[in-house]
Amino acid sequence: MVATTRSKANGTITKVLGASRAGVTKRTKSSSAGGKKAVSTRKKSTQIPAAGVVEERPASPHGTNAPLIAPQANSTAVLQIRRHAPATTNTILDLATAHLLSVDSSLKSLIESHPCEIFSAEGLAEPINPFQNLVSGIISQQVSGAAARTIKSRFIALFTPTPTCPQPFFPTPEMIVACPNDNLRSAGLSGRKAEYVVSLAEHFIDGTLSPEVLSTAPDAEVIERLTKVRGIGNWSAEMFLMFGLKRMDVFSTGDLGIQRGMASHFGKNVAKLKAGGKGKWKYMSEADMLRLSEGFRPYRSLFMWYMWRASHVSVEALTEDSGAGKGKGKGKPGAKAKKA
């Protein structure tokens, strides 16, 4: 079965490949209309594409560029088919870099020293299970990377894969909702994190969050839907848009590393600001951050990447789980991440 749905928000078309009733539950007119010639009767594979296979696809600064994997059993990837896309996955990083340099040529040394892999052709080819990434982010809240990996491994081990589950295995939302809270906590999750994970699973089950929504909805709508989940705040949602969905015009004024990087890049004495800071002080006001970043549209995600580099912040913790889930409030990766 092949179903297509058009997004009024950005004019993209989403193609749902081989989705069973256990996967995408909303049927479109094109998938239910009679008399249509079947595109294919062969069951689509739920395997993640082999590493090293990079297929050039249309890409856009105004939407999701990551191929998404539906988290339910019997479901496969949900991919976008864009019409009149301004770039491809092989060219969009070059276009974005050229735009940044046209706005601010002083970024050249940062760009040459720190290649951005997440928006490279290889980075954009990586299939993303949005549910898995968001769960991983919740698990990672307020713990070290090593502890998060251990808890995640124990968490996955609580569940038994079925023959129809996508591989590599990660529990489906339905499995998690059916799991007793005490079992979830036995993997190392706190009581609150167990509640957060269940809340997230419920939002995927009821359709508030789905690969289709995450592929086609505007940034503001995705953030609104994500922040309805307990344990996910604005910063967490913004990081997921950038590192998980590979959206290229995300900008977070609540990130301490971005504040510090912008202050340094635009000529402020960061050490003096820090030494004189009292109470809830900031390296730079949100109004100034928005004003100075405006010219970098529609590639502000890439601009953020280089502002992290300007403040010597490692983003490894974010790229490992594709962002999301560092707490309900504003995140501060610059204050917690390892120095590069």
Nearest to 3 by CA among 12, 11, 19: 19
CB atoms within 10 A of CB 167: 10
Rounded to a whole number, what is the distance in angstroms from the first to the last CA of the chain?
47
Nearest to 63 by CA among 28, 15, 16, 11: 11
Dist CA 232 CA 223 (whole Å): 9
- Is 219 in the active site? no
Contact 205, 174 (CB under 8 A): yes
Q: What is the CA radius of gyration of the chain?
A: 20
Contact 169, 49 (CB under 8 A): no
Which residue type, as a one-letter code, is found at position 66? Answer: A
DSSP 3-state of 78: strand
**One of 219, 249, 255, 321 is an active-site residue; which one?**
255
Nearest to 93 by CA among 210, 248, 211, 232: 248
33, containing H or E segment? none
Size of the chain in residues: 340
Question: What are the catalytic residues?
Answer: 255
